[in-house]
Structure 1
């Protein structure tokens, strides 16, 4: 492989070759760094979990880790710490009837407490997910009373955003019939209001 300069003679550019040689030589001088395994320092003995999201669940200014346990039906919050292990169990877990596919922590009712939106795979389908919400109650408590309540069913996964700029998280996604829409939450904790996208060009 040659390096050429588009001049009248179209000759190899010796300076460029020298530069490439110098760069290659310098790269060889960079010492190899051994990667460090920090799994135990972070998780301790909690190795049967799938990390799904981060958030400060108990408002202690340490990031907590929201995980799906190995059975794929249990959602748990591992509380952050400034000593090893950096996340640890606190008894904050809820079990669902079907497979959990994602977790979205945030404020879905405007009370400044962190809620946990959980998508659960609908039985007998591969891409449809129902949406449940574990409403925040403050402190280090997790309310599991709403695990069976479905607020809506979507095709695929939703996108969390603030559609109407009221500081309450809303969702954007696709219905099981292929129509894209926004779902707007409010302070009532009722089913969100669906705002369809009227431009059919964005629907499949």
Structure 2
């Protein structure tokens, strides 16, 4: 009937075998998540299955889509609005409470220089209100344990005066915002244009 052998094998699986690829995947509405652009991934509810943090196409809402090992679809656990346009996000345990938090990079005005940053502290069920940080980010920072204290920090090009971006580290442990630590002996991360 016009199908090649590979297509027949993928579609005609029986027994306990699970298909790796279903040629009709895109045609099934049950596999799609409407109005959801994935930004970050992590195990939000601690069930050992990776969940999705996404934003809507308008860019003003974060959604947490939970996955489980019994269903091919995600279900919405929680959503929260934000004033501004969300550009990116990082999921990590920033405060050391063993619960996933979400750092969000957003702009309050479309034409502003740099990005605002803020933290949603998580509790495995929902995210709290956005806690804005008092500085701007040039781009999405990197997450790492910069000082070896077992807490995740943000490392990137950061501006404390809303004009000049310098390599810096932001410490967020215990749900507090610390001052930015400007990194010493680093004049410029950007390559020269020569």
Q: CA deviation at 1:195?
A: 1.7
Is there any run of 5+ residues in structure 1 with no aligned partner, and where? 1-30
- Runs of 4+ deviating beyond 4 Å: 31-35, 39-43
CA RMSD across the alignment: 2.6
| Alignment pair present for 1:100 and 2:112 | no
1:1-204 paired onto structure 2 within 5 Å: 36=23, 38=25, 44-90=31-77, 92-125=78-111, 128-137=114-123, 139-143=124-128, 145=129, 147=130, 149-176=132-159, 177-187=164-174, 189-203=175-189
1:7-36 deviation per Cα after TM superposition (whole angstroms, max 9, x unaligned): xxxxxxxxxxxxxxxxxxxxxxxx877973
Counterpart of 2:187 in 1: which secondary structure? Answer: helix
> How does the TM-score come out when normalised to structure 1?
0.72
Is there any run of 5+ residues in structure 2 with no aligned partner, and where? 11-20
Bigger radius of gyration: 1
> How does the TM-score come out when normalised to structure 2?
0.75
Bigger shift: residues 175-184 or 63-72: 175-184
